[in-house]
Amino acid sequence: MPQRNPTFNWSLLDRKDLIKFLYLIHPEVSNQKISVSKFHKIIAAHLKNKLPITVTKKMDKTTEPRMVYVGGTYYSDFDKHHRRCIEIIMCYNPTQKYLELSKKGYRGICILAADTILHEIMHMRQYRRRKFKFLPDYASTAEKSSQRQEQSYLGNSDEIDAYSFNIACDLMDRFKNNEKQVAHYLRETQKLRRSSGWKMYLTAFDFNHNHPIIRRLKKKIIKYLPNAKLGKPYKSKDWINR
């Protein structure tokens, strides 16, 4: 059972500091051959030393060998009852016994973990501000059940909001905080080679830039660009408080 959630000021977290904090342990986990178990133990302990979260190890065959994927979940019921409510899930390929991460590769994991944490605390804010009421998923009309399920999830208003900030951060990194270049990139209609949250949405909605969900997403991304510079989804100091 999750432990009682201690008093913690989530609003103090920002993306740059989270990435920097996670990268502190790079001498222990990068540029060497390290077992998956040892890697997970080190990074999980490091995260839990700073944040009141749960860190879970998952063996998942969809994770590419020699890679580490990071996922997350926010549990509104746990939060409602003042228990630890954010879970960070570190995913490894089940055939992988050892990792050999470069500094650059490990930093990529740090960025992904920081973005996942911020994504989940945005969900925390959403639920707290509306007194833990659920919002319905998007009513997709896609023919294939798999696409319908993906659209239903990504089209949810909470997910559009959280992913918009993640995508804004990613694009500001890519275009070195040039908002005009980001806006131009979002208008491009061709298929994208680079894997990203933006590509995930376009793929789910058939690369249709006129789809209402994609149009909403674009507006939200543009809105979040100044916040992405700051590394925080909201400017007010008490944005996460109940």
Nearest CA to 76 out of 24, 16, 21, 135 is that of 135
The pLDDT value given to residue 234: 87
pLDDT digits (tens, 9 = 90+) for 17-42: 999 999 999 999 999 999 999 999 99
DSSP string of 85-143?
A: -EEEEEEE-TT--EEEB-HHHHHHHHHHHHHHHHHHHHHHHHHHHTTT---PPP----S
* Confidence at residue 12, expressed as pLDDT on a 0 to 100 scale: 87
Q: Between 238 and 89, whose confidence is greater?
A: 89
Q: What's residue 3's pLDDT?
A: 58
Is the model more confident about 189 or about 112?
112
* Cα torsion through 138, 143, 145, 150, rounded to 10: -40
Q: What is the mean pLDDT of the chain?
A: 92
CB atoms within 10 A of CB 117: 22
